[in-house]
């Protein structure tokens, strides 16, 4: 049974600093069987605001009594003085001052109240001052209420606040609360008697009337034929009144988008297992943390141990900041963790958990998570929730074995869970995590949750020397692949070596630097641009491969010289993974504020680094993994103030100039095979851009030069593109 003595009230609440709805009205009404309220005036908005929390009370057979007053003008008062019918005059005044609901929420709420009146749950009476002759401007304007629970315990409040949107949260107001648990019986008794006197028309200064029939008819016109007691949940979300988890507590300013609510609902309905397939930029992290909040709300006694796994150290640190904003201090688990001996801390938490289970949170890298030591401890957790960010990274044969079978709750996050050229790994990931709870492709988010964009493919040709190098490298690969004595391991190694070589060569093509300089010489906005120079290889914790990193540092050095103060004169900074987290934050802040014009980066558009204020991106290098270049696009499209759309300039590798006939060239097959990879990326980027015709013009040039349609080129030369 409900008991108001279980609710801890403050003596005073001061909106808007205090959230009067969440902190007072919701817990009070959820523990009450009767609600008596005296307040003026009668308006549509007051009916909506006064109804907050009544669904729960009504569902338990509770009763609500409201005394309110009309807004009488001078004509109304004059009519009353002259002896005109009081009920009719008051009713007409109330109908005239009643504004039709102007939104669906208000309409639903008034429909609910009309049903509660018809069911006898809610009663409204009207108060008019008796001394209008001497005080024609006098009004009935009290602001107090009494809640009563099933045991007869009461809580009373009074103050400056009335039932209006501003009164409930916008104005500077106050209410004073008295409760039985605080030994305020005398004050509560006084207010309770005063309400009863008013309700029974026993107060000598006020006439309290039954609600005029014309007003009953007005409100009755909003009936829909059923009492919808689910409306409070929507209204409470509007006022951020969802009960707060005792562990994960979402920030007050966080407003969940409809698709995020649906994803969380589906995940909980699947017993806390599933996959969030959400386009980059649509809020996977916050959706996951809100899902954990609701999980803890739904299982308050389980003492859940949450482990969040991210592919790299900088992502672990970013997750740590997000988790802290939800009121949780996590264990940060990687080799550079500022928390020092994090494994010792984790072991202490585990020891405590084994003796007396309690809520805990570890955020760690895939590498640390997969270690034998950590796996041993994880296997002992009884109520384990595991969240894996960029979950496609866990789909390799070795990593799949590290996913704990004892995890009761499982959540995978990814822009797409499908692994590139690995159907088996994809299948096993889906089997472990469960059903897809949301699939939000980028086309569904463009224009609403992500910015629109213009896509500009820029043709870049190999120099004679570069062309010779790629031909020579490809011939070496063909020799190994056609060698009947070469092992599969040797062939795979040769393929990987060729891919790395061609990727590195493509990133540092001379024509790309010429194209960059020409493009940026005509750049009008002069700020908020990013030049992406390629991706370096990293280990499992995010440390860079020195050889790969060194190659791309040469690219970024050259691009910086072209763009910098001694070149085109831009104020630029670099992001290369050599910077620590604090340096990176400083650079991004200066970029956001316009203190620097642009960023020249490697790996900056890959997993986890968010710079929403990017308005122009120049992509100098892309590999042929769709996940990675689609992910980079999503990071450019994040919404930011003043950002109506983004421009993406993609420097496309065209082996030879398209101004000549290439159909009979000696290496036309090699050229078209290379082109097939670029075409696939151009098709993906242009299909939802604002200017697909720009890409179509490039396709026409390719078709003309090679005497082949784009479809035939892909069908003939694109079959091995996944490699």
Question: Is there a single domain that holds both residue 277 and residue 292?
Answer: yes
Report residue 329 CA to chain centroid gap.
Answer: 20
**In a domain? residue 131:** yes
CATH code at 350? 3.40.50.300
Torsion angle (degrees, nearest 10) of CA 104, 110, 112, 114: -140
Question: Is there a single domain that holds both residue 490 and residue 458?
Answer: no
For residues 68 and 142, give the distance between their C-alpha atoms in angstroms, rounded to a whole number.
9
Question: Is there a single domain that holds both residue 510 and residue 500?
Answer: no
Kindly give, in sequence order, each residue whose CB lies less than 8 Å from that of residue 154, ignoring residues fewer than 6 positions away.
4, 146, 147, 148, 179, 180, 188, 192
**In a domain? residue 617:** yes
Question: Is there a single domain that holds both residue 458 and residue 525?
Answer: yes
CATH code at 219? 3.30.870.10
**In a domain? residue 722:** no
Question: Is there a single domain that holds both residue 434 and residue 460?
Answer: no
pLDDT tens, 170-193? 445 778 898 866 677 888 999 999
Rg (CA), the chain: 33
Q: Which residue has the tokens 């079959």?
A: 719
Question: Is there a single domain that holds both residue 422 and residue 326?
Answer: yes
- pLDDT at position 222 is 81
- pLDDT at position 434 is 94
Question: Is there a single domain that holds both residue 497 and residue 587?
Answer: no
Report residue 197 CA to chain centroid gap.
Answer: 51
- pLDDT at position 242 is 44
**In a domain? residue 446:** no
Question: Is there a single domain that holds both residue 534 and residue 499?
Answer: no
**In a domain? residue 142:** yes
Task: Tally the C-alpha atoms within 13 A of residue 498's C-alpha that lie toward its C-beta.
Answer: 20
For residues 59 and 231, give the distance between their C-alpha atoms in angstroms, rounded to a whole number.
12
Kindly give, in sequence order, each residue whose CB lies less than 8 Å from that of residue 505, ignoring residues fewer than 6 positions away.
466, 469, 470
- pLDDT at position 651 is 96
Q: How many C-beta atoms surround the C-beta of residue 484 within 10 A?
A: 4
Q: Which domain range does residue 473 map to?
A: 465-504
Total domains in the fold of the chain: 4
Inter-residue long-range contacts of 155-161, CB under 8 Å, 24+ positions, other chains counted: 155/4, 155/7, 155/9, 155/28, 155/32, 155/179, 155/180, 155/188, 156/184, 156/187, 156/188, 156/191, 156/192, 157/24, 158/191, 161/15, 161/20
Which of the residues in the chain have pLDDT under 70? 1-2, 16, 81-84, 102, 135, 160-172, 180-182, 233-246, 336-340, 524-525, 535-553, 577, 603-609, 627, 719-723
Among the listed residues 291, 443, 411, 393, the one whose alpha carbon sits nearest the alpha carbon of residue 608: 393
Cis peptide before 16 (omega within 30 of 0): yes
Question: Is there a single domain that holds both residue 220 and residue 351?
Answer: no
For residues 121 and 117, give the distance between their C-alpha atoms in angstroms, rounded to a whole number.
6
Question: Is there a single domain that holds both residue 409 and residue 309?
Answer: yes
Question: Is there a single domain that holds both residue 284 and residue 391?
Answer: yes
Question: Is there a single domain that holds both residue 270 and residue 145?
Answer: no
**In a domain? residue 484:** yes
The structure's pTM equals 0.61
**In a domain? residue 445:** no
pLDDT tens, 94-121? 888 777 776 777 788 888 888 888 888 8
- pLDDT at position 720 is 47
CB 370 within 8 A of CB 397: no
- β-bridge partners, 274: 411
Token output for 489: 């391991």
- pLDDT at position 426 is 92
**In a domain? residue 271:** yes
């Amino acid at each position: 049974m409900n008991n108001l003595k279980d609710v801890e009230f403050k003596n005073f609440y001061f909106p808007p600093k205090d959230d009067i709805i969440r902190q007072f009205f919701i817990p009070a009404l959820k523990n009450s069987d009767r609600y008596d309220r005296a307040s003026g005036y009668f308006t549509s908005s007051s009916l909506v605001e006064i109804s907050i929390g009544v669904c729960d009370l009504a569902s338990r057979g509770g009763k609500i009594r409201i005394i309110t007053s009309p807004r009488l003008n001078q004509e109304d008062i004059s009519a009353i003085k002259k002896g005109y019918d009081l009920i009719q005059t008051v009713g007409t005044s109330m109908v005239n001052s009643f504004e039709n609901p102007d939104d669906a929420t208000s309409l639903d709420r008034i429909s609910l109240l009309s049903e509660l009146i018809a069911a006898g749950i809610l009663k409204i009476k009207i108060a008019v001052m008796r001394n209008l002759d001497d005080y024609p401007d006098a009004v009935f304007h009290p602001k107090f209420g009494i809640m009563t629970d099933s045991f007869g315990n009461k809580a009373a409040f009074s103050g400056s606040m009335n039932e209006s949107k501003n009164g409930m949260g916008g104005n500077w107001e106050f209410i004073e609360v008295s409760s039985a648990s605080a030994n305020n019986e005398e004050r509560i008794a006084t207010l309770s008697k005063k309400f009863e006197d008013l309700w029974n028309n026993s107060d000598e200064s006020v006439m309290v009337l039954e609600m005029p029939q014309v007003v009953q008819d007005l409100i009755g016109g909003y009936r829909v034929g059923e009492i919808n007691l689910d409306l409070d949940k929507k209204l409470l979300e509007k006022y951020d009144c969802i009960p707060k988890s005792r562990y994960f507590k979402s920030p007050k300013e966080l407003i969940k988008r409809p698709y995020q609510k649906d994803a969380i609902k589906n995940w909980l309905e699947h017993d806390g297992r599933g996959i969030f397939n959400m386009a980059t930029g649509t809020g996977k992290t916050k959706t996951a943390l809100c899902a954990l909040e609701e999980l803890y709300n739904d299982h308050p006694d389980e003492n859940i141990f949450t482990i969040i796994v991210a592919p790299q150290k900088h992502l672990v640190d970013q997750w740590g900041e997000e988790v802290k904003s939800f009121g949780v201090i996590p264990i940060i688990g990687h080799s550079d963790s500022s928390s020092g001996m994090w494994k010792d801390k984790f072991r202490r938490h585990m020891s405590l958990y084994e003796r007396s289970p309690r809520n805990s949170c570890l955020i760690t890298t895939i590498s640390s998570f997969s270690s034998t030591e950590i796996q041993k401890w994880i296997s002992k957790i009884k109520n384990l929730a595991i969240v894996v960010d960029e979950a496609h990274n866990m789909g390799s044969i070795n990593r799949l074995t590290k996913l704990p079978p004892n995890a009761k709750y499982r959540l995978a996050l990814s822009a797409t869970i499908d692994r590139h050229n690995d159907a088996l790994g994809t299948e096993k990931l889906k089997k472990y995590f469960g059903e897809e709870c949301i699939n939000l492709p980028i086309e569904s988010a463009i224009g609403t949750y992500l910015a629109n964009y213009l896509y500009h493919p820029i043709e870049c040709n190999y120099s004679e020397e570069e062309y010779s190098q790629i031909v020579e490298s490809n011939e070496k690969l063909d020799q190994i692949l056609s060698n009947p004595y070469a092992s599969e391991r040797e062939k795979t190694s040769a393929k990987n070596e060729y891919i790395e070589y061609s990727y590195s060569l493509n990133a540092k093509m001379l024509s790309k630097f010429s194209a960059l300089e020409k493009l940026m010489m005509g750049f009008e906005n002069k700020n908020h641009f990013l030049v992406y120079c390629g991706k370096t290889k990293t280990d499992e914790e995010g440390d860079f491969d020195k050889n790969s990193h060194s190659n791309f540092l040469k690219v970024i050095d050259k691009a910086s010289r072209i763009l910098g103060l001694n070149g085109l004169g831009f104020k630029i900074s670099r992001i290369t993974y050599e910077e620590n987290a604090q340096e990176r934050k400083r650079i991004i802040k200066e970029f956001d504020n316009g203190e620097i014009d642009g960023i020249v980066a490697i790996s900056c558009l890959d997993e986890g680094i968010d710079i929403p204020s990017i308005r122009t991106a120049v992509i100098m290098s892309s590999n042929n993994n769709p996940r990675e270049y689609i992910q980079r696009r999503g990071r450019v499209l994040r919404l930011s103030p003043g950002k109506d759309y983004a421009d993406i300039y993609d420097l496309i590798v065209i082996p030879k100039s398209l101004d000549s006939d290439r159909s009979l060239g000696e290496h036309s097959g090699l050229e078209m095979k290379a082109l097939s990879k670029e075409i696939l990326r151009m098709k993906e980027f242009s299909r939802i851009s604002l200017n697909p015709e720009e890409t179509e013009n490039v396709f026409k040039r390719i078709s003309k030069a090679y005497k082949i349609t784009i479809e035939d080129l892909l069908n003939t030369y694109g079959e091995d593109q996944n490699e």
